[in-house]
Amino acid sequence: MDLAEGRKIIQLQDAVDEYLVYIEAVRNYSSHTVISYRTDLEYLASELGSETELNSITLKDLNFCVANLNVLKREVSSINRFISSVRSLFAYCKKFNYISNNVSLQLKTLKAPKKLPRYMTETEIDTLCNEPEKNEILWASRDKAIFEMFYSSGCRVSELASLCLDDFENGFSSALILGKGKKTRRVYFEEDAQKALKEYLVERKSRFPDSTVKNVFLNQKGTALTTTGFWYVVTRYSGIEGTGKQVSPHAFRHTFATAMLNNGADIRVVQELLGHANINTTQRYTHVTKERLKDIYNQAFPHSGKKD
């Protein structure tokens, strides 16, 4: 104990371990978020030394870590996430008087290039949703249901993976799901999604008549399909064996949001359906629709791009 200031001397690795327990057990962060923090903070400990006294770390040390991530050619988003993780750790340590000065506040995030969300056109989404019936790569009825439900609801992959049979209400037209920050929201499934789900559930019952797994989607061994499994399904059908236009599960979410806005949905409604805490996150999709309108205008207007 530092008697002069009443400050406990703590090593970096001990602070990291304590903070990870805090965000998981007290703050109830999702497992995905905790993994991201652990990755970033363990990198910090490996670069600066796990036994380094936390209070001795300087801004120069932190900038060294950031510079090294640049050398490793990490994405700007990954570097900024690292900076955010470090700031959160140091804020926690300052709160509990483990450090005298929070040097992480002087870390500067990198300016990231603006990227519009990757979404699928109507033709692309229809092709992908129909691909399991035409090309039985894995489990056709299950995979079609996954695609239709992704597109219909705008769910995150973690949300669909954790969806359980007793989460549905009004038949299969809607469900209460647990989203980011342990917040519940209602999502909806239109007729195509409901039909595909019902057909899958009949086959699921036939394959695994004694199953007690509550999760809706199972793997071929009868256990709950993981988020990694969902990624695998999507990449197989959108890869070279399928449509040949590789997408991620998140592309369904982007496509859902873009389709809603293109068809006149209020942005606040879309925000609620997506479970966005901040309206600015939802507003990214308005840029997508504006770009689409601009493309349509340029193609359709008689004098667009033409010189007399």
Quickly list DSSP for 262-276. HTT--HHHHHHHHT-
Q: Among 64, 82, 62, 86, which Cα is nearest to 74's?
A: 82
Reading the block at residue 70, the tokens are: 């640049």
For residues 308 and 296, give the distance between their C-alpha atoms in angstroms, rounded to a whole number. 21
Give yes or no for a contact between 120 and 247, defined as CB atoms under 8 angstroms apart: yes
Catalytic residue among 156, 200, 204, 237: 156
Catalytic residue among 180, 207, 284, 292: 180
Reading the block at residue 230, the tokens are: 């969902």
Catalytic residue among 38, 81, 250, 284: 250
Is-catalytic flag, 276?
yes
Catalytic residue among 285, 292, 297, 306: 285
Is-catalytic flag, 253?
yes
Is-catalytic flag, 180?
yes
Q: Among 209, 230, 218, which Cα is nearest to 158's?
A: 230
Reading the block at residue 282, the tokens are: 């939802």
For residues 272 and 261, give the distance between their C-alpha atoms in angstroms, rounded to a whole number. 13
Q: Where are the beta strands (DSSP E) in the chain?
A: 168-169, 174-178, 184-188
Q: Where are the beta strands (DSSP E) in 171-229?
A: 174-178, 184-188
Catalytic residue among 142, 144, 204, 253: 253
Is-catalytic flag, 19?
no
Reading the block at residue 154, the tokens are: 């705008």
Active site residues: 156, 180, 250, 253, 276, 285
